[in-house]
């Protein structure tokens, strides 16, 4: 009986030992990450690039190359959305405006007012409470005085769903 127990213990130990893998001291491979989305100006890629392929290409194109690659497509889309476009509230022609939009960088003023657009200051940064979608709709559909197509120049979402915090991290906590 002792022999059978001894054989069972030896077999069990052999199975356990064989199933254990010796740890490997080889370091983990280096993983490289690539930016897949950029959004200096919200909704620009969503609105002005029609195909999924163009949206993906825009996301991985460096901003310095975006204007040359996308300005003509953006202009065609702008004129398809607003066939009566002449200039916008900034006084920009379709070509000039889409040239600005096609380079997805958010400029920032280090000496003046920081705002997306407040009627006077234009694209000098962005505050958390700037209504960027209303600004973009105004610049696309509002015409030279900003009063054309009044039904298309506001999204009617006039506040954040939760108030921003007064101190860092400023964003409201998740639900």
| Domain ranges, ordered by start, for the chain | 44-147
- Tell me the H-state helices in 40-174: 44-48, 52-60, 63-81, 94-102, 132-141
* pLDDT for residue 167 is more than 80: yes
How many residues belong to the chain?
175
- pLDDT of 112 reads 87
Bridge partners of 117?
122
- pLDDT of 174 reads 81
Q: What mean pLDDT, rounded, does the chain reach?
A: 86
* pLDDT for residue 8 is more than 60: no
Contact 79, 94 (CB under 8 A): yes
Token reading at 128 = 């958390």
* pLDDT for residue 102 is more than 90: yes
Whole-model pTM: value is 0.75
């Amino acid at each position: 009986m002792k022999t059978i127990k001894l054989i069972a213990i030896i077999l069990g130990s052999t199975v356990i030992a064989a199933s254990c893998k010796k740890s490997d001291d080889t370091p983990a491979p280096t993983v490289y990450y690539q930016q897949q989305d950029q959004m200096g100006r919200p909704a620009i890629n969503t609105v002005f690039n029609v195909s999924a392929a163009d949206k993906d290409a825009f996301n991985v194109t460096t901003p310095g190359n975006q204007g040359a690659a996308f300005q003509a497509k953006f202009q065609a889309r702008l004129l398809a959305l607003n066939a009566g476009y002449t200039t916008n509230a900034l006084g920009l022609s379709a070509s000039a405006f889409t040239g600005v939009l096609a380079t997805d960088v958010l400029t920032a003023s280090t000496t003046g007012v920081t705002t997306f657009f407040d009627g006077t200051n234009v694209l000098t940064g962005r505050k958390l409470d700037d209504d960027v979608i209303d600004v973009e709709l105004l610049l696309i559909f509002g015409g030279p005085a900003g009063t054309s197509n009044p039904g298309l120049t506001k999204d009617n979402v006039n506040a954040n769903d939760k108030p921003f915090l007064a101190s860092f991290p400023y964003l409201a906590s998740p639900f």
